[in-house]
Amino acid sequence: MMAIARETDGQLPPILPPIAAVRTDWRRHVAPVAAFGWLLAGWRDFVRQPWLSLVYGSAVFVGSLVVVYSIFNFGYDYILFPALSGFLVIAPLAATGLYEKSRCLAVGKPVTLGSMLFVRISSGGQIVFVGLLLCLLMVLWNRAAILLYALFFGLLPFTGLDTILPVLIGTPYGWGLLIVGSLIGGVFAAFSFAISVFAIPRLLDERTDALTAMGQSMALVWNNLPVMLTWAAIIVFLFGLCVLTGLLGLIIVFPVLGHATWHAYSTMRGPHIEAPDGEAARSST
């Protein structure tokens, strides 16, 4: 033992063989116009066996109506607008069956309604963790919206949807609430979008853990902002059209966006790993 100590001079022996350092490049150099290509690819998946996507979209529409009815029935109409924006937070999780359809179509596997409703997740229960986090974010956003209303209008009862719009656009306090609420809501939406847009498809497609999938999703979004901002703007615009139709547009728009998101994931997934000698290799981790 004394001889070993003298030979190593109190230092741990080196690890053999040494572990080569790698650098991950999350940039995909995808032009913003590619987002419209994803939307077109989503439409092509929609029209292949369209009844499957229509049934899925109809289920989302009916579920949304039930939530809206419950909000009014139990007197929580003051959270309607935060709830509508919160829908975008959990939408990636609700679209899992649509990702499955697009995945099967891409590899030529048969698609059934059962396989879309009861998806076999490659990462198992890891997707539950992401789902719980997204639901928590939606709850936090709703609570934040209520606090913002109280900060601007005091502890006054909600005036009702028939009178709140003139108050919001016709008073300084209303404009203040709209501006501040939009900024804070945008932070919630941006964070939720970044951690989930590619995390849910990756957990479906590959065996990985939730934190890794969310971290990779955020890295891809952050390093490819032009195309991802374009994609986010398309989602918000189409969802706005759905709201104007009394959510009826969800029957078609939600499936198309779900299929398109899978194609976005197929384009952006990776990452690319560059070895120390400069030679690039592609990894699916």
Tens of pLDDT, residue by residue over 117-175, are 999 898 888 898 998 998 898 888 888 888 888 888 777 666 666 677 777 777 887 88
Residues 93-123 as b or e (16 or more Cβ within 10 Å = b): bbbbbbbbbbbbbeeeeebeeebbeebebeb
- Specify the higher pLDDT residue, 4 or 106: 106
**Is the model's pLDDT at 266 over the cut of 90?**
yes
The strand pair at 272-274 and 23-25 is best described as: antiparallel
pLDDT at 252: 96
Provide the residue type at 282 as one letter. Answer: R
Q: What is the pTM of this model?
A: 0.81
Distance CA 246, CA 255 (A): 17
pLDDT at 181: 84
Give CB contacts under 8 A, 24+ apart, made by 67-74: 68/247
Rounded to whole angstroms, the maximal C-alpha distance in the chain is 87
> For the chain, what is the mean pLDDT?
84
CA 240 to the chain's CA centroid: 17
Contact 208, 123 (CB under 8 A): yes
The strand pair at 23-25 and 280-282 is best described as: unpaired
- Specify the higher pLDDT residue, 11 or 69: 69
**Is the model's pLDDT at 217 over the cut of 70?**
yes
276: pLDDT confidence band, cut at 50, 70 and 90?
A: very low
**Is the model's pLDDT at 273 over the cut of 70?**
no
- What's the token pair of residue 260? 């398109």
